[in-house]
Amino acid sequence: MRNITWSQAMNEAIAEEMRRDETVFIMGEDVAEAGTPFKVTSGLVEEFGTQRVLDTPISEPGFMGMAVGASLTGMRPIVDLMFGDFIYLIMDQLANQAAKQHYMSGGKLTVPLVVRTNMGATRRSAAQHSQSLQALVAHIPGIKVAMPSTPYEVKGLMKTAIRDNNPVVIFEDKLSYQMKGPVPEEEYFIPFGQANVLSQGTDITLIGTSSMVQVCEEAALILAEKGISAEVIDVRTIAPLDEHTLVESVKKTGRAIVVDEGHQSFGVTSEIVARLNEKAFYYLDAPLTRMGAMDVPIPFSPVLEDLTVPTAIGVAEKAAKLVMGEL
């Protein structure tokens, strides 16, 4: 299997779906000639032209509203939101229009659009360009939320998202665009609501989202050196959430740490821990634990910024204490 970058995998997913379906198009700031600041859409405008790869003005509410209207009339727009922090600007169009049209029309209308955007700190982009707002979107009924962790995952989840008849927001860690990984040349899809068990374990379950999956995998290696067996699970999508896989794993190991880069309070970690507590409580040998970003604006200072997000060493240390009964 060939190794390609995250950017290439996303680019392939978009191009393949645009070739297959003429109703698919992409719009956003600098998606055409510039190929986005992260060069994810490079080459698309040369193949599909400016009618299907649309550079927009710097007006997120405006082009998001256009995308909702286009999807209601039979198109399948992909909205490229340059930074996930700009979700605040499109929240009315996303939460009040896209998410509710199917319900409010009694099922007569669908809004098949995809918003692809990014998340994640430690890129030295300061407080307004470093947020991880996935919990904010997942809180809204009617929106599906995907959080890929590798080039393989991002291509499979993106192709599924484009063909879905519901609005989907796909969050990509901005530090992952140059990550390389195996991606099949043949077509494949990753279904929503189906978590991926990356490694089997018996002592503790490490549940991660997006780049925190790699943090969990690294933590599992550290724990293995101490004789602790960790099961690692990639959630893949938080809406819908694969409760069954997570619950069954925790029933087996009796312990769990949930790791997400969003702010810890009222976030993804809180929701997953709550569901596990409801459905696996009598199997627990230790309190369920969560690790998220500090509840502070992301600092610009590299020294301070690095302290705000979970690390593999931090996860491994907490996991070891749970297994040893020290927490």
Determine the average pLDDT of the residues in 257-263. Answer: 97
Q: How far is CA 36 from CA 63, 65, 162, in A?
A: 16, 20, 19
Is the separation of the CB atoms in 65 and 93 below 8 Å?
Answer: yes
CA neighbor of 42 nearest in space, from 51, 52, 50, 31: 31
DSSP 65-93: HHHHHHHHTT-EEEEE-S-GGGGGGGHII
- State residue 307's pLDDT score: 93
pLDDT(131) > 90 = yes
User: Which residue of the set 12, 60, 217, 261 is catalytic?
Assistant: 60
pTM of the model: 0.96
- State residue 297's pLDDT score: 95
pLDDT band for position 9 (50/70/90)? very high
Tens-digit pLDDT profile for residues 160-199: 999 999 999 999 999 999 999 999 999 999 999 999 999 9
Which secondary structure element, helix H or strand E, spans residue 285, and what is its range?
none
How buried is 45 (Cβ within 10 angstroms: 0-12 exposed, 13-18 middle, 19+ buried)? buried
- State residue 320's pLDDT score: 97
- State residue 37's pLDDT score: 83
User: Which residue of the set 17, 29, 129, 217 is catalytic?
Assistant: 129
Is 102 among the catalytic positions? no
Tens-digit pLDDT profile for residues 20-58: 999 999 999 999 988 888 889 999 999 999 999 999 999
Is 60 among the catalytic positions? yes
What's the Rg (C-alpha) of the chain? Answer: 20
The answer to whether the Cα torsion of 157, 69, 85, 315 is positive or negative is negative
